[in-house]
Amino acid sequence: MSFLPITRAEALTHGWDELDVIFVTGDAYVDHPSFGVPLLARWLEFHGFRVGIIPQPDWRSKDAFTALGRPRHFFAVSAGAMDSMVAHYTPARKLRRDDAYTPGNRHGGRPNRATIVYTSRLKEAYRDVPVVIGGIEASLRRFAHYDFWEDKVRRSILFDAKADLLVYGMGETPLLELAARLRKGEDFKAITDIRGTAHVGKDIPEGGTSMLEIPSFKEVLTDRHKYNEAFRLVSMEQNSRCARTSVQKQGERYLVCNPPAFPISEQTMDIIYALPFVKAPHPSYTEQIPAHEQIKASITTHRGCFGGCAFCAITYHQGKTIQSRSESSVLLEIKKLLEQKWFKGSISDIGGPTANMYGLKCSDSKAEASCRRGSCLYPRPCRNLDMSDKRVAALLSKVRKTSGVKHSAVSSGVRYDLLKHQDAYLKELLGYHVGGLLKVAPEHIAERVTDLMRKPGRRDFEQFLAQFRKESAALGKKQHVVPYFISGHPGTTLSDMVDLALFLKRSGLRVEQVQDFTPTPGTLSTCIYYTGIDPFSGNEVYVPRSDKEKRLQKSLLLSHLAEERSNIMRALQVCSRKTAAGELLDGKHEAIPAPAVHGSRKKTR
């Protein structure tokens, strides 16, 4: 096995004096299926295309973008595994100091709005070569969208980048179709009908009932109700089996977004994960890449998520349909992992976006073909959802019994409201795959907030905790739940966070990290954050916006840390819940000094 070329000299060692497709990515090149660009590049290579990668080019000039020369078909651009603005800034809009996808964990390996910058440099270097943009940054910014970092609505990234085509979703099917049609001699500009792509058109294409026009950029820019309407309409077009082409006017032209690509089959999933990945960073790197260290001993069993959480982009990017690998495919990858000299027998994670969704599907193909639900679990599990744990429990059992595997963990998280329907999986999980700590994500316990999040409520979490503790005790194991919660989410008040903090205290739970809500492009929670209105119910929603309140909300969940006590007392004072101080802080708190009294003269800046 060898790496794909990142220089012309390396391309020549493959016998390639010209490449068909050149990928440009904001991540370092790690030849592993968990990294999107290498996976897509290997997929095209498998189908006979000559492919190269330009990882983390210096965007300050066009020179780095000429490292592999001019491609025969097109450049394929991705900001990387994360939206570049999410990668660069904290929820408080402060610059991060690290980047897990860069050697040495250094910040600065990619620019802000990397998709736009990379495309601009490529057009500067090769004006006549088509540029196709994709990845999560392009995928979730394909329509007019609210941008948290500028606090404004931006038009489609396809217009700002001035790219020739946008591929959204996971990309294998549309990218391969595009490359194959170009190889046959089709004109790039004439290829406008591929599923999972979006392009710019001068007019609304003919489509009749299969066409959906959503409010224009001008309308969503000036009218928050129109923004909500556009989001609601687009979110109803996620099912590839019944989705229509969506059109949004932007200036004098139109964004034309074709229906999503169909989910890929189990057979195709098996082929993808059997491709000749080296499973290592390119040898030109001299420092570790944290993202690789985290996943190098992990196994991906499936993709997609039907949970439909309001703050999560997985459903919008990977799809709601669970696309699983076969058992034999997973076991074959483990066999190859055992051959690695560095592997010591411990699989760090075996799962997907939600580990216990492996093998699950809709039991009614006719109902699935017309389904427009955003979640198969919210507000209650769909009657057509097959929740059988037979496949996933059997897979975990075979993995741990594989010769050479000393331990296999499930650390990617599970959906605990599914576990009450999965007794065999729960026993297998707690008996062999937890390692003392199990990650779950209740996110909150206030029913009003969890409803906005599209998450199960407090009762489900309490039932799970009782079940977890009972099963662990029966197994004679000391195991604990690691819960993840979000502060600052739309609908959350300081008083709600006090209730959550008290719940944690009374339940014997402790969190070490709290996720401060970040309004990332394309999600329902971001839509609510921007408009202050739930686009589905039409109800107004309280949104914590000030940095001060968000900081206090976060502090309330860290009452066990001495450095947070003053913030906690301030929070309790603001929401008139000072009586909770004794319980939250175990009596270890000081009174907040009264604010200084000033004259009536107004402050000046």
- The per-residue pLDDT for range 21-43, each reduced to its tens digit, is 999 999 999 999 999 999 999 99
Range name among 74-88, 393-407, 565-579, 587-601 with the lowest pLDDT average: 587-601
Q: Report the b/e string of 553-588 with b at 16+ CB within 10 A.
A: bbbbbbbeeeebbebbbbbbeebebeebbeebbeee
Per-residue pLDDT band at 204 (split at 50, 70, 90):
confident
Per-residue pLDDT band at 400 (split at 50, 70, 90):
very high
pLDDT at 395 over 50: yes
Give the distance from CA 305 to its chain's centroid: 11
- Mean pLDDT calculated for residue range 138-151: 97
pLDDT at 595 over 60: no
Per-residue pLDDT band at 210 (split at 50, 70, 90):
confident
Distances (CA, A) of 127 to 6, 39, 123: 21, 27, 4
- Mean pLDDT calculated for residue range 579-585: 92
Per-residue pLDDT band at 602 (split at 50, 70, 90):
very low
Indicate the annotated binding residues.
Answer: 305, 309, 312
User: Which has the closest alpha carbon to 519: 530, 509, 511?
Assistant: 530
- Mean pLDDT calculated for residue range 64-79: 98
Contact 557, 485 (CB under 8 A): yes
| C-alpha angle 420-425-431 in degrees, rounded to nearest 5 | 110
N- to C-terminal Cα separation, the chain:
64
Q: What is the pLDDT of residue 590?
A: 52
Mean pLDDT, the chain, integer? 94
Give the distance from CA 39 to its chain's centroid: 17
pLDDT at 540 over 60: yes
pLDDT at 205 over 90: no
Helix (H, G, I), strand (E, B) or coil at 486: strand
pLDDT at 599 over 60: no
Q: What is the pLDDT of residue 255?
A: 97
Q: Provide the token pair at 202.
A: 């001068």
Helix (H, G, I), strand (E, B) or coil at 533: strand
Contact 298, 350 (CB under 8 A): yes
Best CATH choice for the domain 298-407 from the list 3.30.750, 3.10.50, 1.10.10, 3.30.70: 3.30.750
Q: What is the pLDDT of residue 503?
A: 95
Per DSSP, what are the bridge partners of residue 211? 245
Q: What is the pLDDT of residue 435?
A: 84
Q: How far, in Å, CA of 495 to CA of 561, rounded?
A: 20
Q: Report the b/e string of 25-64 with b at 16+ CB within 10 A.
A: bbbbbbbbbbbbbbbbbbbbbeeebbbbbbbbbebeebeb
Going through 267-311 in order, the beta strands assigned E by DSSP cover 298-300, 302-303
Residue-range domain boundaries for the chain: 8-199, 298-407
pLDDT at 596 over 50: no
Q: What is the pLDDT of residue 600?
A: 36
Respond yes or no on whether the N-terminal peptide bond of residue 456 is cis (omega within 30° of 0).
Answer: no
pLDDT at 419 over 50: yes
Contact 199, 158 (CB under 8 A): yes
pLDDT at 601 over 60: no
- Mean pLDDT calculated for residue range 168-191: 97
- Mean pLDDT calculated for residue range 395-404: 97
Q: Which residue has the higher pLDDT, 77 or 412?
A: 77
- Looking up tokens 């193909």 gives 365
pLDDT at 525 over 60: yes
Per DSSP, what are the bridge partners of residue 438? 481
Q: What is the pLDDT of residue 403?
A: 96
Q: How far, in Å, CA of 77 to CA of 131, rounded?
A: 7
Contact 201, 253 (CB under 8 A): yes
Indicate the annotated binding residues for [4Fe-4S] cluster.
Answer: 305, 309, 312
Fold (CATH) for 8-199: Rossmann fold (3.40.50)
pLDDT at 243 over 80: yes
- Mean pLDDT calculated for residue range 257-264: 96
pLDDT tens string 461-517: 999 999 999 999 999 999 999 899 999 999 999 999 999 999 999 999 988 778 999
Per-residue pLDDT band at 341 (split at 50, 70, 90):
very high
Q: What is the pLDDT of residue 521?
A: 95
Percent of the chain as helix, strand, coil, to the nearest 5: 40, 15, 45
Q: How far, in Å, CA of 448 to CA of 444, rounded?
A: 10
Q: Provide the token pair at 206.
A: 């003919």
Per DSSP, what are the bridge partners of residue 213? 247
Contact 464, 421 (CB under 8 A): no
Amino acid of residue 386:
D
Amino acid of residue 146:
Y
Q: How far, in Å, CA of 525 to CA of 234, rounded?
A: 15
SS3 assignment for 564-600: HHHHHHHHHHHCCCHHHHHHHHCCCCCCCCCCCCCCC
Per DSSP, what are the bridge partners of residue 146? 153
C-beta neighbour count of 432 within 10 angstroms: 18
Q: How far, in Å, CA of 6 to CA of 28, rounded?
A: 11
- Mean pLDDT calculated for residue range 283-295: 96
Going through 241-320 in order, the beta strands assigned E by DSSP cover 245-250, 253-257, 298-300, 302-303
**What is the percent of the chain where pLDDT is above 90?**
91
- Mean pLDDT calculated for residue range 138-161: 97
pLDDT tens string 420-452: 999 999 999 999 999 888 989 999 999 999 999
